[in-house]
Structure 1
């Protein structure tokens, strides 16, 4: 059993707290996609919920525990999806939610955060700038700061995906997981390495945002000065040390993929699966495209982690 901050009993109990709309999302073999990729490809569809990403699994745990503690407000930094999910979970429970995001985040994500009733503050700069501002707000107001991947609820909420994969059929050989801060990778990885240790856990990150992948390979925190990728949801620059420790326990590999492969993956999801996905959700397919021999003839699961994308940008990408 991997030695991480996560606990399998808590993960199982989390299913009783998370709203059913986020649980038991579709898992199915996509023959058309697999045929084009040269492998058996199954899709775990984490966009089939009210916030169109996996993040609601974690924010449901966060919000429920805040209410149990008698707290009334919460703040987070977000590239877009966490803010939407926290807004949804907070509104359902009467929490005041503040989200700090880069003004350069996709407009569709920012609009949805506002629509869910959260207070949205925009900063000049990237996600790391937003994280610093959110921490300042939390300290000044004396409210809970939710830090994705650092806060165990976000990891153990995402880990419930792993429970569903482990109980699904048929069996599979590898899972491809988008890697950003690490909540989904450590969560799903912990469950699979506990219940299905033979399954290969492969994390995928853009070449233009490689901090966590480089850190995994060097077994130490490696930061970057900037990021350059359309996959905004995974574009962090400062890996969290304890999250890296967890990732080192559960990931078999971490790979980097090019932007052209991410775009090709988005196009393939549209053409062969009828799915509109955001760039981060196409990382798994991008990894197969760049290393077909590795996955040839194998049964691979890719987690479609989000579907929140600006349509204008999406049309530009898939038409190129």
Structure 2
């Protein structure tokens, strides 16, 4: 039995509180991609939904819980995807949602947050600065602070992806998971290590935002002074101790990949799979590109976790 903050019974029960539009997402083998990478590649597509990322699996649980508690407002810090997801889930339940984001976050994500009815407050600096401001707002207004990865609902919502992977028709040798704050990695990892313990759980992070990966390898929290990556969705600097403990329990490995591999992965997903993805969603493909021998001949699943990308930046990257 895997020992983390998560619980498989709660994860299964969570399915009742998540809008079906976010569940049972496509899972399919992509031969064109696999042939080029030298292994069998299956794609778990978490972008074919109203917020174009996996995040709403968690915010659906958070918003449902807040409604049951009679709460009427919430605030979160977001690099973009969590804010959209909380705005969507909150609007559906009549919650007043405030999202704090870095001013330099992708414009497409910020515009979508506002379009979904949330208040948007921008701060100078990065995600960690947005998190500090969100804490202040929660205290000033006496409202619920939603903290991705620390709040167990965000992890157990993401963990429902693991139920779908473990319950699918195919068996995998490894699952590649983008690693940022850790909600998806710990959630999916917990389920796989409980239901399919032989599957290798590999977390992937950019070289330019390595805090959680360094922390996993050293078995203690390691922070960084800054981040430098196009994968804004995973660019945290301060790992959460409780989340790191969960990650240590469920991950078999954590690897770092370079920006050039992320861009190549995005291009390959467009050309071989017909998918427009944000950089974080290409981390799994980038990991295979940088270590082809490790994955040769194996069946690997990669979770395509988001497609909220600025069109101008996207075209610049894939043409580089």
Give TM-score scaled by structure 1 length. Answer: 1.00
Name the CA distance, whole Å, in 1 between partners of 2:147 and 2:117: 20
Equivalent residue for 1:309? Answer: 309
Equivalent residue for 2:6? Answer: 6
Equivalent residue for 1:129? Answer: 129
Equivalent residue for 1:29? Answer: 29
Name the CA distance, whole Å, in 1 between partners of 2:69 and 2:170: 41
Name the CA distance, whole Å, in 2 between partners of 1:207 and 1:169: 34
2:42 partner SS: strand
Does 1:298 pair with 2:275?
no
Equivalent residue for 1:196? Answer: 196
Does 1:62 pair with 2:54?
no
Name the CA distance, whole Å, in 2 between partners of 1:37 and 1:113: 36
Equivalent residue for 1:177? Answer: 177
2:145 partner SS: strand
The CA deviation at 1:185 is 0.1
The CA deviation at 1:170 is 1.2
2:222 partner SS: coil
Question: Per-residue displacement from partner, 1:151-201 (whole Å, max 9, x unpaired)?
Answer: 000000000000000000111110000000000000000000000000000
Does 1:111 pair with 2:100?
no
2:297 partner SS: coil
Unaligned runs of 5+ in 1: none
Q: Give the RMSD, CA atoms, in angstroms.
A: 0.3
Name the CA distance, whole Å, in 1 between partners of 2:209 and 2:298: 28
Equivalent residue for 1:150? Answer: 150
Name the CA distance, whole Å, in 2 between partners of 1:52 and 1:150: 22
Equivalent residue for 1:254? Answer: 254
Name the CA distance, whole Å, in 2 between partners of 1:169 and 1:240: 35
Question: Per-residue displacement from partner, 1:110-146 (whole Å, max 9, x unpaired)?
Answer: 0000000000000000000000000000001000000
Aligned pairs for 1:219-230 (under 5 A) are 219-230=219-230
Equivalent residue for 2:241? Answer: 241
The CA deviation at 1:2 is 1.0
Name the CA distance, whole Å, in 1 between partners of 2:10 and 2:141: 30
The CA deviation at 1:88 is 0.1
Give TM-score scaled by structure 2 length. Answer: 1.00
Unaligned runs of 5+ in 2: none
Equivalent residue for 1:273? Answer: 273
Moved beyond 2 Å, runs of 4+: none
2:237 partner SS: coil
1:301 partner SS: strand
Name the CA distance, whole Å, in 2 between partners of 1:129 and 1:306: 23
1:43 partner SS: strand
